[in-house]
A and B are shown apart, each in its own frame.
Chain A
Amino acid sequence: MSRIVSIHSFRGGTGKSNTTANVAAILAAQGRRVGVVDTDILSPGIHVLFGLDQDAVGNSLNTYLWGQCTMPEAAYEVTPPGVGGGGRVWLVPSSVAPQDIARVMHDGYDVGRLGDGFRALVDALDLDVLILDTHPGLNEETLLAIAMSDALAIVLRPDHQDYEGTQVTVTVARKLAVPTMVLVVNKTPAVFDEDEVRERVEKAYECRVATVVPHSDELMALSSAGLFAVGFPDHPVTDRYRALAADLMS
């Protein structure tokens, strides 16, 4: 039985796409067939983490939404090197072409097509899990993604600018009765006490914290070289992503 998982944050800059990509890589390394859709149409970016060259991309989520292809036809295999055991990753990227982004902003699109596309993708690629990398905020496609999801991870930083929006997201997601909802406290300064962070965040939102991911310059430097969980499978931070992946699949 396939699962749909959304990874969301109310504000940008929380490390949402990075979290999505690392969770996808971990699930693939565990032998799962993983699909990732970059539904952040207005500011796409996750393809970079998977090393997908947009110049080589013909179809994208945009061309699917405009009825020019099927969603499976817009999927590209991006299985990270070294992932074996039958695990694979496919990505449906959003176009980075300025005219495509401008067209989406100007004309909009039929959000309803998204849901059908997700299902078609799951069926065509026989996915174990489909991960939706959402656009910050709570627009219609994000609400649809959440409504379709079996599990939702909300990424936030331990920072005042993220607190209120996270509360909005948690409240809305509860109204959509998402079966599994967890928080990911990302970019946590290394000097913070993780248990303290977890306790305070859980208490404030009455929602379980799946993991607290520390932030450090070292981590940033290592991350820029590619998918962290692939490059550093034994690093404690990869263990945090692993815990999150397990949570989202349970």
Chain B
Amino acid sequence: MTDQRTGTVLVVDDDPTNRLLLRRGLEREGLQVETAVDGVEALDRLAAPGIDLVLLDLLMPRLDGHEVLARMRADARLRHVPVIVVSGADDTAEAVRCIELGAEDFLPKPFDPVLLRARIGASLSRKWLRDVEQDYLQQVGLVLRAAGEVEAGTFEPTTLDAVAGRDDALGGLARTFQTMAREVRARERRLEQQVGALRIEIDQARTARQVAEITETDYFADLQRKAASLRGGGHIRTEGP
């Protein structure tokens, strides 16, 4: 996610002069700029992430701007990338058509640099807010999923590390959740360990055999007889082996 009002703009125009002018202007504003010479190249570039805004010409060879708009709208991953159409066609009907196809704004050529700057700034701000919201919702989803995993006994605290790194309330919630889950897990392990170690199962038959081997001897019988006297403090010698 980029910062508010900065980002990478894809300039799509078959006219090299227009591409150059736009690139220079946008770079002066502190934006990253990539370019595409037509719709096909634009969609190729958009297939990979990283583009925050598209400045789109309409009349281009191979694939025109309308088709690019239509395909972006049909693609769930691209639907929310803002597009500003920069076109030589200066009529309201064209502007309406482009906006209906999903364009965020329409700017006739030759464009007014001040107006373009303002519209790019506004688009990027909206994109940024939306990214923040999407990110938040996605991380809320992680916490909700974690709650289900805790119930199912499959929760792994590290899956919330990304959310726990946030410095807001959601991050605090995730950290508390991780701590509690770890404590519960540790308590369960201690209990399992204790229950296992304290399951005192004695083989009575084997024990009885061992006892018999010791006690069914003359030596032991003699000791048994003399034990009381021995404890009484008498100097009574027991019989040696």
Contacts and interface: CB of A to CB of B under 8 A. Distances in A.
A163 B236 contact: no
B190 A196 contact: no
Contact of B194 (A108, A143, A177, A196): A196
Interface in A100-118: 108, 110-113, 115-116
Contacts of A189: 193-194, 197
Which residue among B193, B202, B224 has the maximum number of chain A CB atoms within 10 Å of its CB?
Answer: B202
A176 B227 contact: yes
A147 B200 CA distance: 27
B196 to A, nearest CB: 9
B202 A164 contact: yes
Contacts of A115: 230, 235-238
Interface residues of B, number: 33
Contacts of A149: 231
Interface residues of A, number: 42
A55 to B, nearest CB: 31
A111 B241 contact: yes
Q: Which 3 pairs, one residue from A and one from B, show the smallest C-beta to C-beta distance?
A: A204-B200, A147-B227, A191-B190
B214 A150 contact: no
A126 interface: no
Contacts of A138: 214
Interface stretch (B34-42, B115-123, B204-212): B204-212
Interface string B83-97: 000000000000000
A116 B235 contact: yes
Interface of B: 190, 193-194, 197-198, 200-203, 206-207, 210-211, 214-215, 219-220, 223-224, 226-228, 230-231, 233-241
B198 A111 contact: no
B200 A119 contact: no
A119 B228 CA distance: 14
Contacts, number: 102
A197 interface: yes
A77 interface: no
Interface of A: 2, 4, 108, 110-113, 115-116, 119-120, 122, 138, 140, 143-144, 147-150, 158-160, 163-164, 167-168, 171-172, 175-177, 179, 189, 191-193, 196-197, 200-201, 204
B7 to A, nearest CB: 52
A205 to B, nearest CB: 8
A197 B195 CA distance: 10
B231 to A, nearest CB: 6
A147 B230 contact: yes
Contact of A147 (B203, B226, B235, B241): B226
Contacts of B201: 163
A151 B235 CA distance: 19
Given A150-B231, A192-B197, A192-B198, 20 more contacts: A2-B233, A111-B238, A111-B240, A112-B238, A112-B239, A115-B236, A119-B233, A147-B223, A148-B227, A158-B197, A172-B214, A175-B220, A175-B224, A189-B194, A189-B197, A191-B190, A193-B194, A196-B194, A200-B200, A201-B198
